[in-house]
Copies of this chain bind each other. A is one copy, B any other.
Amino acid sequence: MIEIDAPRGFRFAGMASGIKKAGKPDLALIVSDGPATCAGVYTKNKVVAAPLRITRENLAAGKCQAILVNSGNANACTGAAGMQAARETLGLVAGELGLAPELIAISSTGVIGQQLRLEPFKVGIPQLAATLSATAAAAVAEAIRTTDAFAKVASAEEFGEPGYKVLGLAKGAGMIHPNMATMLSFVLTDADVEAELLDAALRRAVAKSFNSITVDGDTSTNDMVLVLANGHSGATIAAGTAEAEAFCCHLDRVLLDLAKMIVRDGEGASKLVQIKVVGAADADSARVAARSVATSSLVKTAFFGEDANWGRIIAAVGYSGIEVDQDRIDISFDSVPVTVNGLSTGAEREAEATEVLKRDEFIVTINLNQGEAEADYYTSDLGYEYVRINADYRT
Protein backbone atom coordinates (compact mmCIF):
# COMPACT_ATOMS: atom_id res chain seq x y z
CA MET A 1 0.00 0.00 0.00
CA ILE A 2 1.37 3.42 -0.93
CA GLU A 3 1.89 5.87 1.90
CA ILE A 4 -0.01 9.12 1.62
CA ASP A 5 1.27 12.32 3.16
CA ALA A 6 -2.01 13.30 4.77
CA PRO A 7 -3.03 16.56 6.48
CA ARG A 8 -1.73 16.71 10.03
CA GLY A 9 -3.78 15.33 12.88
CA PHE A 10 -5.66 12.65 10.96
CA ARG A 11 -5.14 8.90 11.27
CA PHE A 12 -6.49 6.12 9.10
CA ALA A 13 -7.07 2.38 9.04
CA GLY A 14 -8.71 -0.06 6.63
CA MET A 15 -9.23 -3.83 6.64
CA ALA A 16 -11.15 -6.84 5.36
CA SER A 17 -13.65 -7.51 8.14
CA GLY A 18 -15.77 -10.15 6.42
CA ILE A 19 -18.71 -8.00 5.28
CA LYS A 20 -17.77 -8.81 1.69
CA LYS A 21 -17.78 -12.51 1.00
CA ALA A 22 -14.62 -12.41 -1.07
CA GLY A 23 -12.41 -11.28 1.80
CA LYS A 24 -11.73 -7.90 0.22
CA PRO A 25 -11.20 -4.70 2.25
CA ASP A 26 -14.58 -3.48 3.45
CA LEU A 27 -14.23 -1.51 6.68
CA ALA A 28 -12.34 1.71 7.41
CA LEU A 29 -11.90 4.34 10.06
CA ILE A 30 -10.74 7.96 9.88
CA VAL A 31 -9.99 9.74 13.15
CA SER A 32 -9.04 13.34 13.80
CA ASP A 33 -6.89 14.28 16.80
CA GLY A 34 -9.58 16.41 18.37
CA PRO A 35 -12.97 17.52 17.01
CA ALA A 36 -12.87 19.00 13.51
CA THR A 37 -15.18 21.58 11.98
CA CYS A 38 -17.35 19.68 9.57
CA ALA A 39 -19.73 20.22 6.63
CA GLY A 40 -21.72 17.64 4.70
CA VAL A 41 -23.77 17.24 1.55
CA TYR A 42 -26.19 14.34 1.47
CA THR A 43 -28.36 12.46 -1.01
CA LYS A 44 -31.69 13.98 -2.03
CA ASN A 45 -33.21 10.55 -2.60
CA LYS A 46 -36.46 10.09 -0.65
CA VAL A 47 -35.30 6.59 0.21
CA VAL A 48 -32.46 7.09 2.65
CA ALA A 49 -30.10 4.56 4.21
CA ALA A 50 -29.95 4.14 7.99
CA PRO A 51 -26.33 5.32 8.49
CA LEU A 52 -26.99 8.45 6.46
CA ARG A 53 -29.97 9.37 8.66
CA ILE A 54 -27.83 9.02 11.75
CA THR A 55 -24.82 10.87 10.33
CA ARG A 56 -26.91 13.78 9.06
CA GLU A 57 -28.31 14.19 12.56
CA ASN A 58 -24.97 13.74 14.35
CA LEU A 59 -23.13 16.29 12.23
CA ALA A 60 -25.85 18.92 12.23
CA ALA A 61 -23.91 20.77 14.93
CA GLY A 62 -20.92 21.05 12.56
CA LYS A 63 -18.40 18.97 14.50
CA CYS A 64 -16.92 15.57 13.68
CA GLN A 65 -13.98 13.58 14.99
CA ALA A 66 -14.29 10.12 13.43
CA ILE A 67 -15.76 8.47 10.34
CA LEU A 68 -16.58 4.76 10.11
CA VAL A 69 -17.24 3.48 6.59
CA ASN A 70 -18.11 0.05 5.30
CA SER A 71 -18.57 -1.29 1.80
CA GLY A 72 -20.37 -4.52 0.83
CA ASN A 73 -23.71 -3.61 2.43
CA ALA A 74 -25.55 -0.29 2.07
CA ASN A 75 -27.79 -0.81 5.12
CA ALA A 76 -30.56 0.80 3.07
CA CYS A 77 -34.18 -0.44 3.05
CA THR A 78 -33.51 -2.36 6.21
CA GLY A 79 -36.17 -0.75 8.43
CA ALA A 80 -36.00 -0.55 12.22
CA ALA A 81 -33.49 -3.41 12.38
CA GLY A 82 -31.18 -1.50 10.05
CA MET A 83 -31.40 1.64 12.19
CA GLN A 84 -30.65 -0.44 15.28
CA ALA A 85 -27.65 -2.07 13.58
CA ALA A 86 -26.32 1.32 12.47
CA ARG A 87 -26.63 2.66 16.02
CA GLU A 88 -24.75 -0.35 17.32
CA THR A 89 -21.85 0.24 14.93
CA LEU A 90 -21.81 3.85 16.10
CA GLY A 91 -21.71 2.67 19.72
CA LEU A 92 -18.81 0.34 18.97
CA VAL A 93 -16.74 3.21 17.55
CA ALA A 94 -17.69 5.56 20.38
CA GLY A 95 -16.72 2.96 22.97
CA GLU A 96 -13.49 2.01 21.27
CA LEU A 97 -12.31 5.59 20.75
CA GLY A 98 -13.88 7.07 23.88
CA LEU A 99 -15.80 9.67 21.85
CA ALA A 100 -19.29 11.10 22.13
CA PRO A 101 -21.48 9.42 19.45
CA GLU A 102 -22.45 12.88 18.16
CA LEU A 103 -18.87 13.36 16.93
CA ILE A 104 -18.97 10.23 14.78
CA ALA A 105 -20.10 9.82 11.17
CA ILE A 106 -21.06 6.39 9.85
CA SER A 107 -21.40 5.57 6.20
CA SER A 108 -22.24 2.46 4.19
CA THR A 109 -22.22 1.45 0.54
CA GLY A 110 -23.06 -1.76 -1.24
CA VAL A 111 -26.12 -3.90 -1.78
CA ILE A 112 -29.49 -2.44 -0.78
CA GLY A 113 -32.02 -4.34 1.30
CA GLN A 114 -29.87 -6.79 3.22
CA GLN A 115 -29.57 -6.60 6.99
CA LEU A 116 -26.14 -5.67 8.29
CA ARG A 117 -24.35 -8.44 10.19
CA LEU A 118 -22.75 -6.92 13.29
CA GLU A 119 -20.06 -9.57 13.76
CA PRO A 120 -17.58 -8.02 11.28
CA PHE A 121 -17.93 -4.67 13.06
CA LYS A 122 -17.46 -6.19 16.52
CA VAL A 123 -14.27 -7.88 15.41
CA GLY A 124 -13.10 -5.17 13.04
CA ILE A 125 -13.51 -1.89 14.92
CA PRO A 126 -11.02 -2.71 17.72
CA GLN A 127 -8.54 -3.87 15.07
CA LEU A 128 -8.97 -0.65 13.12
CA ALA A 129 -8.54 1.46 16.27
CA ALA A 130 -5.37 -0.44 17.08
CA THR A 131 -3.81 0.09 13.66
CA LEU A 132 -4.62 3.78 13.02
CA SER A 133 -1.79 5.48 11.17
CA ALA A 134 -1.16 8.94 9.76
CA THR A 135 0.10 7.47 6.48
CA ALA A 136 -2.62 4.87 5.86
CA ALA A 137 -5.20 6.97 4.01
CA ALA A 138 -4.83 4.65 1.00
CA ALA A 139 -6.18 1.78 3.08
CA VAL A 140 -9.40 3.76 3.58
CA ALA A 141 -9.66 4.48 -0.15
CA GLU A 142 -9.25 0.73 -0.75
CA ALA A 143 -11.82 -0.34 1.80
CA ILE A 144 -14.62 1.87 0.48
CA ARG A 145 -14.50 0.43 -3.07
CA THR A 146 -17.49 -1.51 -4.40
CA THR A 147 -17.51 -1.78 -8.20
CA ASP A 148 -14.69 0.78 -8.37
CA ALA A 149 -11.88 -0.39 -10.63
CA PHE A 150 -9.39 1.70 -8.69
CA ALA A 151 -9.13 3.60 -5.40
CA LYS A 152 -9.65 7.35 -5.65
CA VAL A 153 -7.37 9.83 -3.87
CA ALA A 154 -6.71 13.48 -4.72
CA SER A 155 -4.89 16.19 -2.86
CA ALA A 156 -3.87 19.83 -2.93
CA GLU A 157 -1.46 21.81 -0.84
CA GLU A 158 -1.22 25.43 0.17
CA PHE A 159 2.45 26.23 0.60
CA GLY A 160 3.65 29.01 2.88
CA GLU A 161 3.90 29.40 6.60
CA PRO A 162 1.80 27.91 7.93
CA GLY A 163 0.62 25.94 4.90
CA TYR A 164 -2.03 23.24 4.90
CA LYS A 165 -3.16 20.23 2.89
CA VAL A 166 -6.49 19.12 1.47
CA LEU A 167 -6.86 15.37 0.99
CA GLY A 168 -9.89 13.79 -0.70
CA LEU A 169 -10.87 10.13 -0.75
CA ALA A 170 -13.81 8.90 -2.78
CA LYS A 171 -15.62 5.86 -4.06
CA GLY A 172 -18.07 5.67 -6.90
CA ALA A 173 -18.16 4.58 -10.49
CA GLY A 174 -20.04 6.83 -12.89
CA MET A 175 -23.02 5.27 -14.56
CA ILE A 176 -25.39 5.92 -17.40
CA HIS A 177 -27.76 7.46 -14.92
CA PRO A 178 -24.95 8.71 -12.71
CA ASN A 179 -27.51 9.59 -10.07
CA MET A 180 -27.62 5.94 -9.11
CA ALA A 181 -23.98 5.46 -8.30
CA THR A 182 -23.40 5.43 -4.61
CA MET A 183 -20.85 8.16 -4.22
CA LEU A 184 -18.98 8.67 -0.98
CA SER A 185 -16.28 11.24 -0.46
CA PHE A 186 -14.36 12.26 2.61
CA VAL A 187 -12.24 15.38 2.44
CA LEU A 188 -9.79 16.27 5.17
CA THR A 189 -7.80 19.41 5.79
CA ASP A 190 -5.53 20.53 8.58
CA ALA A 191 -6.48 24.16 8.04
CA ASP A 192 -8.81 25.79 10.55
CA VAL A 193 -11.80 26.89 8.48
CA GLU A 194 -14.78 28.89 9.73
CA ALA A 195 -17.85 26.67 9.83
CA GLU A 196 -19.99 28.80 7.52
CA LEU A 197 -17.19 29.20 5.02
CA LEU A 198 -16.53 25.46 5.06
CA ASP A 199 -20.17 24.75 4.35
CA ALA A 200 -20.39 27.29 1.52
CA ALA A 201 -17.09 26.15 0.00
CA LEU A 202 -18.23 22.52 0.04
CA ARG A 203 -21.55 23.31 -1.63
CA ARG A 204 -19.82 25.33 -4.33
CA ALA A 205 -17.22 22.64 -4.96
CA VAL A 206 -19.82 19.85 -5.07
CA ALA A 207 -21.92 21.78 -7.63
CA LYS A 208 -18.96 22.04 -9.98
CA SER A 209 -17.75 18.47 -9.49
CA PHE A 210 -19.92 15.65 -8.16
CA ASN A 211 -23.10 17.42 -9.19
CA SER A 212 -21.74 17.89 -12.70
CA ILE A 213 -21.43 14.16 -13.06
CA THR A 214 -24.52 13.25 -11.10
CA VAL A 215 -27.92 14.73 -11.72
CA ASP A 216 -28.84 17.20 -8.97
CA GLY A 217 -31.25 15.76 -6.51
CA ASP A 218 -31.17 12.40 -8.18
CA THR A 219 -28.82 10.55 -5.94
CA SER A 220 -28.62 7.11 -4.38
CA THR A 221 -29.86 6.12 -0.95
CA ASN A 222 -26.39 6.48 0.56
CA ASP A 223 -24.52 9.36 -1.09
CA MET A 224 -22.59 11.72 1.11
CA VAL A 225 -19.67 14.10 0.92
CA LEU A 226 -18.08 15.17 4.20
CA VAL A 227 -15.30 17.68 4.76
CA LEU A 228 -13.43 17.88 8.06
CA ALA A 229 -11.13 20.76 9.00
CA ASN A 230 -9.15 20.13 12.18
CA GLY A 231 -6.79 23.14 12.24
CA HIS A 232 -3.68 21.11 13.07
CA SER A 233 -1.55 22.97 10.51
CA GLY A 234 -2.01 26.23 12.33
CA ALA A 235 -3.42 27.88 9.20
CA THR A 236 -6.64 29.79 9.80
CA ILE A 237 -9.07 30.58 7.02
CA ALA A 238 -11.62 33.34 7.54
CA ALA A 239 -14.45 34.16 5.16
CA GLY A 240 -13.99 37.03 2.73
CA THR A 241 -10.19 36.85 2.65
CA ALA A 242 -7.71 35.94 -0.05
CA GLU A 243 -6.97 32.82 2.01
CA ALA A 244 -10.60 31.81 1.73
CA GLU A 245 -10.42 32.12 -2.06
CA ALA A 246 -7.31 29.98 -2.13
CA PHE A 247 -8.92 27.37 0.11
CA CYS A 248 -12.01 27.24 -2.13
CA CYS A 249 -9.79 26.71 -5.17
CA HIS A 250 -7.97 23.84 -3.48
CA LEU A 251 -11.26 22.25 -2.45
CA ASP A 252 -12.69 22.75 -5.96
CA ARG A 253 -9.68 21.11 -7.49
CA VAL A 254 -9.64 18.11 -5.15
CA LEU A 255 -13.35 17.45 -5.69
CA LEU A 256 -13.14 17.91 -9.46
CA ASP A 257 -10.19 15.51 -9.60
CA LEU A 258 -12.15 12.94 -7.63
CA ALA A 259 -15.27 13.49 -9.75
CA LYS A 260 -13.29 12.96 -12.94
CA MET A 261 -11.82 9.77 -11.50
CA ILE A 262 -15.35 8.56 -10.82
CA VAL A 263 -16.34 9.24 -14.43
CA ARG A 264 -13.16 7.66 -15.74
CA ASP A 265 -13.84 4.60 -13.63
CA GLY A 266 -17.36 4.67 -15.02
CA GLU A 267 -18.30 1.02 -14.40
CA GLY A 268 -16.74 -0.27 -17.55
CA ALA A 269 -15.96 3.08 -19.14
CA SER A 270 -12.91 3.61 -21.31
CA LYS A 271 -13.21 7.34 -22.04
CA LEU A 272 -13.61 10.56 -20.08
CA VAL A 273 -15.65 13.05 -22.08
CA GLN A 274 -16.23 16.66 -21.11
CA ILE A 275 -19.50 18.04 -22.48
CA LYS A 276 -19.01 21.78 -22.70
CA VAL A 277 -22.05 23.86 -23.59
CA VAL A 278 -21.17 27.47 -24.42
CA GLY A 279 -23.11 30.39 -25.83
CA ALA A 280 -26.24 29.54 -23.86
CA ALA A 281 -28.85 32.14 -22.95
CA ASP A 282 -28.40 31.48 -19.24
CA ALA A 283 -26.54 29.17 -16.86
CA ASP A 284 -29.55 26.94 -16.24
CA SER A 285 -30.08 26.30 -19.95
CA ALA A 286 -26.41 25.54 -20.40
CA ARG A 287 -26.55 23.03 -17.59
CA VAL A 288 -29.78 21.38 -18.77
CA ALA A 289 -28.41 20.98 -22.30
CA ALA A 290 -25.05 19.64 -21.11
CA ARG A 291 -26.75 17.16 -18.81
CA SER A 292 -29.09 15.97 -21.54
CA VAL A 293 -26.16 15.17 -23.83
CA ALA A 294 -24.03 13.71 -21.02
CA THR A 295 -26.75 11.30 -19.93
CA SER A 296 -27.89 10.16 -23.38
CA SER A 297 -27.25 6.46 -23.76
CA LEU A 298 -27.16 6.84 -27.52
CA VAL A 299 -24.48 9.52 -27.32
CA LYS A 300 -22.50 7.42 -24.86
CA THR A 301 -22.68 4.26 -26.96
CA ALA A 302 -21.52 6.32 -29.97
CA PHE A 303 -18.49 7.40 -27.90
CA PHE A 304 -17.81 3.73 -27.18
CA GLY A 305 -18.09 2.98 -30.89
CA GLU A 306 -15.75 5.92 -31.61
CA ASP A 307 -18.40 7.31 -33.93
CA ALA A 308 -18.53 11.12 -34.29
CA ASN A 309 -22.32 10.90 -34.35
CA TRP A 310 -23.18 14.55 -33.83
CA GLY A 311 -26.79 13.84 -34.88
CA ARG A 312 -27.39 12.12 -31.55
CA ILE A 313 -25.79 15.07 -29.75
CA ILE A 314 -27.94 17.67 -31.47
CA ALA A 315 -31.03 15.54 -30.87
CA ALA A 316 -30.19 15.36 -27.16
CA VAL A 317 -29.90 19.16 -27.08
CA GLY A 318 -33.23 19.36 -28.91
CA TYR A 319 -35.12 17.22 -26.41
CA SER A 320 -33.44 18.72 -23.35
CA GLY A 321 -36.33 21.13 -23.01
CA ILE A 322 -34.42 24.38 -23.52
CA GLU A 323 -35.22 26.73 -26.38
CA VAL A 324 -32.73 26.29 -29.21
CA ASP A 325 -32.37 27.44 -32.77
CA GLN A 326 -31.14 24.34 -34.56
CA ASP A 327 -29.71 26.40 -37.40
CA ARG A 328 -27.22 28.14 -35.08
CA ILE A 329 -25.74 25.16 -33.23
CA ASP A 330 -22.01 24.45 -33.66
CA ILE A 331 -20.42 21.24 -32.39
CA SER A 332 -16.73 20.33 -32.11
CA PHE A 333 -14.80 17.30 -30.94
CA ASP A 334 -11.71 18.86 -29.35
CA SER A 335 -10.63 21.35 -32.03
CA VAL A 336 -12.44 19.66 -34.94
CA PRO A 337 -15.73 21.31 -35.94
CA VAL A 338 -18.22 18.69 -37.14
CA THR A 339 -21.32 20.89 -37.16
CA VAL A 340 -21.59 24.55 -38.08
CA ASN A 341 -24.97 26.28 -38.08
CA GLY A 342 -26.64 22.92 -37.50
CA LEU A 343 -25.13 21.37 -40.61
CA SER A 344 -22.44 18.78 -41.20
CA THR A 345 -19.01 20.16 -42.09
CA GLY A 346 -18.45 17.16 -44.35
CA ALA A 347 -16.86 13.75 -44.46
CA GLU A 348 -13.26 14.96 -44.13
CA ARG A 349 -13.92 16.78 -40.87
CA GLU A 350 -15.88 13.83 -39.59
CA ALA A 351 -12.94 11.55 -40.31
CA GLU A 352 -10.73 13.91 -38.28
CA ALA A 353 -13.27 13.88 -35.48
CA THR A 354 -13.24 10.08 -35.51
CA GLU A 355 -9.54 10.30 -34.70
CA VAL A 356 -10.39 12.52 -31.70
CA LEU A 357 -12.83 9.90 -30.46
CA LYS A 358 -10.06 7.36 -30.30
CA ARG A 359 -8.50 9.39 -27.50
CA ASP A 360 -9.01 8.44 -23.87
CA GLU A 361 -10.16 11.93 -23.04
CA PHE A 362 -11.71 14.63 -25.21
CA ILE A 363 -14.05 17.61 -25.10
CA VAL A 364 -17.32 17.97 -27.00
CA THR A 365 -18.07 21.67 -27.30
CA ILE A 366 -21.61 22.67 -28.17
CA ASN A 367 -22.06 26.34 -28.99
CA LEU A 368 -25.72 27.39 -28.95
CA ASN A 369 -24.79 30.90 -30.13
CA GLN A 370 -27.52 32.44 -28.01
CA GLY A 371 -25.62 34.18 -25.22
CA GLU A 372 -22.65 33.98 -22.89
CA ALA A 373 -23.50 31.25 -20.38
CA GLU A 374 -21.53 28.02 -20.09
CA ALA A 375 -21.69 24.69 -18.27
CA ASP A 376 -19.54 21.57 -18.14
CA TYR A 377 -20.61 18.01 -17.56
CA TYR A 378 -18.34 15.00 -17.43
CA THR A 379 -19.44 11.68 -18.82
CA SER A 380 -18.07 8.36 -20.01
CA ASP A 381 -18.72 6.03 -22.88
CA LEU A 382 -21.17 3.16 -22.52
CA GLY A 383 -19.79 -0.21 -23.50
CA TYR A 384 -20.11 -3.91 -22.89
CA GLU A 385 -18.36 -3.67 -19.55
CA TYR A 386 -21.16 -1.52 -18.13
CA VAL A 387 -23.62 -4.27 -18.85
CA ARG A 388 -21.36 -7.00 -17.54
CA ILE A 389 -20.64 -5.23 -14.26
CA ASN A 390 -24.19 -4.16 -13.56
CA ALA A 391 -25.92 -7.34 -14.65
CA ASP A 392 -23.64 -9.42 -12.42
CA TYR A 393 -23.26 -7.06 -9.49
CA ARG A 394 -24.96 -9.16 -6.82
CA THR A 395 -24.04 -12.60 -8.14
Contact = CB atoms under 8 A, between A and B. Distances in A.
Nearest to A321: B217
A234 interface: no
A289 to B, nearest CB: 10
A367 to B, nearest CB: 15
A218 B320 CA distance: 7
How many A residues touch the partner, as a band?
35 or more
B344 A114 contact: yes
Contacts of A309: 112, 393-394
Nearest to A338: B113
A318 B79 contact: no
A317 interface: yes
A44 to B, nearest CB: 7
A301 interface: yes
Contacts of A315: 45, 47, 76, 112, 180, 220-221
Contacts of A321: 217-218
A391 B298 CA distance: 8
A309 B221 CA distance: 14
Q: Is the interface of A mostly helix, strand, loop or mixed?
A: loop
A238 interface: no
**Copies held by the complex:** 2
Interface centre among A48, A175, A305 (most CB of B within 10 A): A305
B343 A79 contact: yes
A149 interface: no
Nearest to A306: B391
A392 interface: yes
Contacts of A74: 311
Contact of A314 (B47, B382, B390): B47
17 contacts: A47-B314, A47-B317, A74-B311, A112-B311, A112-B312, A113-B311, A114-B344, A175-B298, A179-B319, A180-B312, A180-B315, A217-B321, A220-B319, A297-B386, A305-B391, A305-B393, A387-B387
The 8 residue pairs across chains A and B that have the minimum distance between CB atoms: A112-B311, A305-B391, A47-B318, A301-B390, A176-B297, A45-B318, A113-B311, A47-B326
Interface of A: 44-48, 74, 76-79, 111-114, 175-177, 179-180, 217-221, 295-298, 301-302, 304-305, 307, 309-312, 314-319, 321-324, 326-327, 339, 341-344, 382-384, 386-388, 390-395
